[in-house]
Structure 1
Amino acid sequence: MNWIAAYTILFNLINDNSDQNTYFSGSRFIKFIQKYNPSVPNYSLLMAERSNKSLSSSRYDYYWDLIGELDDANKFAFFTDVISVIKPYKSTLDLENIINGANLNSVPKNNFQDDIWNAQRLNRITNDIDKSIELGEFNRTVTLAYTCLEGLFKAYINKHLPACSSTSDLIPMSKLVRDDIDKKLKSSTSYPSQMIVCISTLTNVIANSRNSFSESHFDQEANRWVANFARDLLNSLARLVLHFI
């Protein structure tokens, strides 16, 4: 994430005191950022503290310093929150492109058609996956990716392997789907077998990530890159399997 570029655009939006709806005075900005860092002092104390440390009292400088004290999840939440305030009054498209571009659409998202078993639930989960990344809930992202794969494989098994519909564990389901697709392809054409082997390989990646980073194991240890990686694997794998459903 290019936070400096995002901040430059943000400051230009909130520095125009001709529109009080979008103008952020020092006091307003501090009250706003205190939601994400309660340890930030009020305006008078902050100015005194910065003066004692010979730090700039320029709003551009101390706004940036306060943002810089936030971790990435809270930075993202802060920017998203400010955007929601100023968007009704000014165009925030450039800022949204920077903020959302780091998190969404790394891989095209699937749209599960209504004729697929539990399609509405699968679509809801994929939307929740992107939202969980936006909110910095990376453990939840990995768990949702796992859950979505369960539903995707179950939909395939219900349609093509009804005799195996009682299978419920993710890894065995992925092997059933993999082997069935492999069998169908081998009967009609030659193809790179690694393409189908990846169904179980990528499933194992997500399953192991979910087990390692679930809240019951290491609370809040999953990072943004893990969450994005799991989301992208899910969408790539889903497009492959959906081709055969």
Structure 2
Amino acid sequence: MNSGASVNWIAAFNHLFPVLNRSGAPFYCSGPDFCRALQQVDPGSPSYEQLMPLLTSQGRSTSRKSFYWEMLQALPEPHRFHVYRIFINQIEPHARGDAETLRGIVFGGGYAVPVTLVPIDLWNSEKPNSNLRDIDLAIDAGHYNRATALSYSCLEGLYKAYVRKHVPAQDGLSDLIQLCRVVKDDIAAKLTVQGPFPEQIVNALPTMTHAVANSRNGFSEAHFGGDSQRWLALLARDMTNSIGRLLLNFV
């Protein structure tokens, strides 16, 4: 993953547009399709029907290549990363080589772990779902401190959702580590009823939670060379996703 300052956006677009312009391909992207993709990230972005008269009235080119480039470059970088991620995900099932080339230019070849989605019927699930989506975007944009803070907030939401459903007597807890222990003990009790289980995995929950919490608390004060901060943010993201996947097996 490259930070925004080091991404060669010209190279990224010069690889993206010919792929999106590949007639007959399942990932072919028409003008209206492109505008709808941008509206997923920026609801204030114009529709194709709004854009064409605007470009014409301003004497600007209405060619797809021209306005695709202009609209992408007009986005704030976090939104631009998000749009490229959308297109890469659409391309990858059908043209893996093209997707990998684009990913290498924009994200340095890094893969995000699959996002854990919290069921919408769980209490306050909207916040952890939003956090899970935003962690990758923060890392893409090089905002590593924000990524670790979002990991912390996401764990807090996951644990609170679990406690509210399964251990309502402890619903008043707010401390992350205390919430984690309640969740760990409840999961262990459920598994014990079923028979032997790998206790080390369940016992790792507090360790992983402490790691994310401590990263959130001390990240801004850390000074590492090279990509060290990025890798710490990636680790916090991956641990958060792993914990979320484990909890979702019990809800």
SS in 2 for 1:223: helix
SS of aligned partner of 1:163 = helix
Q: Any idea what SS the aligned residue of 1:238 has?
A: helix
In the other structure, the counterpart of 1:172 is 178
Return the letter of the residue paired with 2:181: K
The answer to whether the 8 A contact 1:103-1:134 is kept is: no
Q: Which residue, out of 113, 121, 124, partners 1:115? A: 121
More helix by percentage:
2
Taking structure 1 as reference, are residues 11 and 171 closer, same or farther at Cα in structure 2, changes over 3 Å only?
closer
Q: Secondary structure at the match of 2:156?
A: helix
Match of 1:206 in 2: 212
Which of these residues, 186, 211, 234, is aligned with residue 228 of structure 1? 234
1:241 lines up with 2:229 in the alignment: no
Q: Distance in 2 between matches of 1:80 and 1:188?
A: 45
Does 2:197 align with 1:191? yes
Aligned 8 A contact 1:9 1:95 in 2: no
CA contact (8 A) 2:208 2:239 kept: yes
Gaps of 5+ in 2: 17-63, 86-97
Question: Within 1, Cα distance between the matches of 2:81 and 2:162?
Answer: 38
Q: Is the 8 A contact 2:2 2:108 kept in 1?
A: no
For these two proteins, the number of residue pairs brought into alignment is 186
Identity %: 37
Letter in 1 for 2:200: Q
Residue 95 of structure 1 and its aligned partner are, at CA, apart by: 4.6
* Compared CA separation, residues 145 and 13, structure 1 to 2 (3 A): closer
Deviation at 1:93, TM superposition (A): 4.9
From the superposition, tell whether residues 95 and 176 of structure 1 become closer, same or farther in structure 2 (CA, over 3 Å).
same
Superposition RMSD in Å: 4.2
Partner of 1:128: 134
Q: State the Cα distance separating 1:12 from its structure 2 match.
A: 6.0
Residue 149 in structure 1 maps to residue 144 in structure 2? no
Indicate how the Cα distance of structure 1 residues 212 and 202 shifts in structure 2: closer, same or farther if over 3 A, else same.
same
The structure with the largest alpha-carbon Rg is 1
Q: 1:140 aligns with which of 137, 140, 146?
A: 146
**Cα shift at 1:116:** 1.3
